[in-house]
A and B are shown apart, each in its own frame.
Chain A
Amino acid sequence: MQIRTPQRRRARIAALAGSIALLAAACGGSDFDDGDDAADDGAEPTGEAPAEGVELTLMGWSSSPAEDDALNAIISSYNEQSENTVQFNPVPEYDTALQAALAGGTPPDVIYIDSNRLPDLVEAGALAPAEGNVEDDGDFYESLRNTFTYDGTFWCPPKDFSTLALVYNVDMFEEAGLEPPTTWEDLAAAAEALTDGDRVGLAIAPEYPRWGVFMFQAGGAVTNEDVTEMAIDSDANREALGYLEELYANGYAATPTDLDAGWAGEAFGQQRAAMTIEGNWIVGAMNNDFPDVNWAVAELPAGPAGQGTFVFTVCYGVPSASQNPEAAWDLVNYLVSPDSLIEFTGQFPVMPGRESLAGDWTDAHPELGPFLSGADYARPFQFVPGFQAVVDTLNDGIQGIAAGNRDVDEVIRQVDEAGQAELGG
């Protein structure tokens, strides 16, 4: 409740601000500048009252007040220039709320879709395809287009994206006379050199969305690209898991809970770890909670098979049961237009999905470039419906490897068995 109330209030203030702006625009039109007003209202001859407008709901979640502010500002300007009005409705426990909204048959007009939820929603027939409805969709990064393409159809344009990169403590590196590592060997050496007493070299959460990058860097993956067959049983995966097993066993890497932290970014901020592997979201946490820490970002070190990282992304989707599909796509197009994306990602350290905006983003966040470089080789955290139990089994194994009570071969065998049953059946 404490978290929710100020956001609700803010949303209400933003809505109020939006309606005042609308009023001002209407007054402005009749009093001063008729030409401009006509242009705004397009073909609508009467112009004054937004008679044809539709009320749209955008349902999503809130990851920080800063993000809410940035998004609400864009929504206000949409409300100003369009005859439609939009209300942003951030809900806690989003998946559950979305599920209820979709199953109820009258979903919101535009919804956030996390990339790993897309297959479920598509298979359930819950989404309207984006193909033909989104302007200039060739401009989105190919990796993101692929992420939101399922069964050969492009479903929704990316709202923004984040990748994983190596976040390191500059002071600790300088003190040890080290450069940011670029290979696995360097990473292991740096982690060893920076481990000192209560401080470890590397803090990583024991879960597939972090450890998976090492599997990619070794040339492995959980499944084949189409997620039709298991690929976990490979030497590449063994090498990746074995590499991490050794880092943890030697005490050079540790889990966040071992460092008394809720997540790896917190352990890093409290300087109990010299390095961590996290995404763009760590920027806000570092600036707000640990402003005194001198940190920087580097691309993840390359493994035996080259570079690899995860991309985490969310898109704006339109439910197939939307009452106002045209207005909904109009809103989506506004939200993913270059101007809106620049405005949104300029204030907030996530990255715009349009390749043409890479320069603008790097200008706004010069120190965060390595996150953007990851876009070229990043892979999504995405499987097929019903795969959650397999991911949980893999996480279970990863936790065991990190704790030192589970054997890499045993984990691979268990995940393989679990996955064969899900994909085969």
Chain B
Amino acid sequence: MNSLRARFSTNETLAGWTFALPALIGIAVFLILPIAFTFWISFTDWNGLSPPEQAEYVGMQNYRDLLTDPGVQRIDFATGIRNNLYYVLGVVPAQTTIAFALAVIVNQKFLRGRGFFRTAYYFPSITSSIAISIVFLFLFQRSGVINRLISVLLPGDVRLNWLDNADGIIHNILGWVGVDSAPAALADNDFMGLSLWQWLSGPSVTLFSIMILVTWTTIGTMMLIFLAGLQNIPPDVEEAGVVDGTSALQRFWYITVPLMKSPLFFVLTIGLISTWQVFDQIFVISSGGPQKTTLTPAFLVYREGFRNFSMGRATAIAFLLFLLIIVLTIIQRRIIKPERA
């Protein structure tokens, strides 16, 4: 008996490994090895041109260039983080709340043309981001539709150059209330090579335009996820609320929102990850300009790796970005605490 069981279990182990092998090979080749290779590259000075085994080990130098050693690399990295931070702070809440609101609206049973609205809102999400970016280039031109629309609605002829304007929005707002140059306390103190005044610039007008674009294109997908979540809420819960004499607003806040915690966490997480990786729109519209105000870590990876031939530094940026996303996701998880299914 014992020997039989032993033999049986060996066979089981073998069979288990055999069945798992194709998947394991796939994961190793396409996931683990590339990540390990990239991690190793980030400690070398590989230029991306010669065979990688010729690269020299430089220790933490790439990371030091980005984080501690004063210089243009650190300034660019800090600028990228600053730009992307404003981008995330703008896009994630906007896309989440708008998508949630839209999902609630198109989930109404009595809404006419529900199918049309669902399709219309989802449409931008399935269109190529490059194509949409090019359309936005025209919309936001000086003589484009956006400026004409504003000129019609507001007095005066607005000829704002949306996609080539480096003025920070917070700086602009401060300018309206009379603060148009940096107070000494902000100008003289710096963090990672950028003065506090520069950190507080807000997104530039160009980055802000890109934020509008991205919000508009992503709400469709987010709406779809929320819609699926809303349809999972059993109608009797809502009916029980009605029987208990609650108002529609109370039902929304005390029934719908708590039951939507899982989709909300999901949407926020994808939102956070994708906004920290923004690249396509910036590549097409502004290439990091004007005046580095649309530089993001993901774009820096491209610039360093493929234009500056510093693959080592590019991979170091990629790993720092990865760390940043992990940390932020963990923090977000602590705050929202999704229900375990």
The B-contacting residues of A in range 371-425, CB under 8 angstroms, are 385-390, 392-393, 395-397, 399-400, 403, 405-406, 417-418, 421-422, 425
**7 tightest CB-CB pairs across the interface, nearest first?**
A418-B72, A124-B49, A388-B308, A257-B164, A421-B71, A124-B50, A120-B309
Of the residues A102, A257, A422, A425, contact of B163 by C-beta under 8 Å? A257
How far is A3 from B24 in the complex, measured between Cα atoms in Å? 40
Contacts of A260 in B (CB 8 A): 141-144
Q: Check if A95 sits within 8 Å of B161, measured CB to CB.
A: no
How far is A95 from B166 in the complex, measured between Cα atoms in Å? 28
Q: Check if B306 sits within 8 Å of A96, measured CB to CB.
A: yes
Residue of B nearest to A419 (CB): B72
How far is A400 from B198 in the complex, measured between Cα atoms in Å? 14
A250 located at the interface, meaning its Cβ lies under 8 Å from any Cβ of chain B in the complex: no
A3 CB to closest chain B CB (Å) equals 12
Contacts of A396 in B (CB 8 A): 289, 291-292
B15 CB to closest chain A CB (Å) equals 38
Q: Check if B291 sits within 8 Å of A400, measured CB to CB.
A: yes
Q: Check if A400 sits within 8 Å of B166, measured CB to CB.
A: yes
A121 located at the interface, meaning its Cβ lies under 8 Å from any Cβ of chain B in the complex: yes
Residue of B nearest to A385 (CB): B309
Residue of B nearest to A206 (CB): B290
- Chain A interface, >50% SS class: helix
How far is A125 from B54 in the complex, measured between Cα atoms in Å? 10
Contact with A along B207-249 (1 / 0, CB 8 A): 0000000000000000000000000000000000000000000
Q: Check if B164 sits within 8 Å of A388, measured CB to CB.
A: no
A30 located at the interface, meaning its Cβ lies under 8 Å from any Cβ of chain B in the complex: no
Of the residues A103, A257, A392, A393, contact of B142 by C-beta under 8 Å? A257
A105 located at the interface, meaning its Cβ lies under 8 Å from any Cβ of chain B in the complex: yes
A102 CB to closest chain B CB (Å) equals 5
Question: In the complex, which of the residues B47, B52, B143, B292 has the most CB atoms of chain A within 10 Å of its own CB atom?
Answer: B47
B256 located at the interface, meaning its Cβ lies under 8 Å from any Cβ of chain A in the complex: no
Using A120-B49, A123-B47 as known contacts, say yes or no to A389 and B164 having CB atoms under 8 A apart. Answer: no
What are 16 contact pairs spanning A and B, CB under 8 A?
Answer: A95-B306, A99-B306, A99-B309, A103-B49, A103-B52, A120-B49, A124-B309, A257-B161, A257-B164, A385-B309, A388-B304, A389-B73, A392-B288, A403-B290, A403-B291, A417-B71
How far is A124 from B288 in the complex, measured between Cα atoms in Å? 27
Q: Check if A417 sits within 8 Å of B72, measured CB to CB.
A: yes
Q: Check if B289 sits within 8 Å of A395, measured CB to CB.
A: yes
B51 located at the interface, meaning its Cβ lies under 8 Å from any Cβ of chain A in the complex: yes
Contacts of B291 in A (CB 8 A): 396-397, 399-400, 403, 406
The A-contacting residues of B in range 271-293, CB under 8 angstroms, are 288-292
The B-contacting residues of A in range 347-381, CB under 8 angstroms, are none
The A-contacting residues of B in range 71-91, CB under 8 angstroms, are 71-73, 75-76
Contacts of A124 in B (CB 8 A): 47, 49-50, 309
Q: Check if A120 sits within 8 Å of B47, measured CB to CB.
A: yes
B310 located at the interface, meaning its Cβ lies under 8 Å from any Cβ of chain A in the complex: yes
B10 CB to closest chain A CB (Å) equals 43
Contacts of B164 in A (CB 8 A): 255, 257-258, 403
How far is A425 from B73 in the complex, measured between Cα atoms in Å? 12
How far is A393 from B308 in the complex, measured between Cα atoms in Å? 13
Contacts of A194 in B (CB 8 A): none
B135 CB to closest chain A CB (Å) equals 14
Contacts of B76 in A (CB 8 A): 389, 392
A359 CB to closest chain B CB (Å) equals 38
Contacts of B306 in A (CB 8 A): 95-96, 99
Contacts of B51 in A (CB 8 A): 103, 105
Report how many residues on chain A are interfacial, defined by Cβ distance under 8 Å.
38
B124 located at the interface, meaning its Cβ lies under 8 Å from any Cβ of chain A in the complex: no
How far is A284 from B42 in the complex, measured between Cα atoms in Å? 44
Contacts of B289 in A (CB 8 A): 395-396, 399
How far is A389 from B310 in the complex, measured between Cα atoms in Å? 11
Contacts of B54 in A (CB 8 A): 125
Contacts of B141 in A (CB 8 A): 257, 260
Q: Check if A125 sits within 8 Å of B166, measured CB to CB.
A: no
Q: Check if A418 sits within 8 Å of B50, measured CB to CB.
A: no
How far is A393 from B74 in the complex, measured between Cα atoms in Å? 12
B132 CB to closest chain A CB (Å) equals 16
The B-contacting residues of A in range 180-239, CB under 8 angstroms, are none
B48 located at the interface, meaning its Cβ lies under 8 Å from any Cβ of chain A in the complex: yes
Question: In the complex, which of the residues B49, B52, B70, B161 has the most CB atoms of chain A within 10 Å of its own CB atom?
Answer: B49
A327 located at the interface, meaning its Cβ lies under 8 Å from any Cβ of chain B in the complex: no
Using A103-B49, A260-B143, A386-B310 as known contacts, say yes or no to A399 and B290 having CB atoms under 8 A apart. Answer: yes
A219 CB to closest chain B CB (Å) equals 26
Contacts of A99 in B (CB 8 A): 48-49, 306, 309
The B-contacting residues of A in range 260-292, CB under 8 angstroms, are 260
Of the residues B142, B167, B308, contact of A258 by C-beta under 8 Å? B142
Residue of B nearest to A393 (CB): B72
A315 located at the interface, meaning its Cβ lies under 8 Å from any Cβ of chain B in the complex: no
B109 located at the interface, meaning its Cβ lies under 8 Å from any Cβ of chain A in the complex: no
Question: In the complex, which of the residues B303, B306, B308 has the most CB atoms of chain A within 10 Å of its own CB atom?
Answer: B308
Q: Check if B49 sits within 8 Å of A95, measured CB to CB.
A: no
B136 CB to closest chain A CB (Å) equals 13
How far is A124 from B310 in the complex, measured between Cα atoms in Å? 11
Q: Check if A102 sits within 8 Å of B71, measured CB to CB.
A: no
Question: In the complex, which of the residues B51, B288, B310 has the most CB atoms of chain A within 10 Å of its own CB atom?
Answer: B51
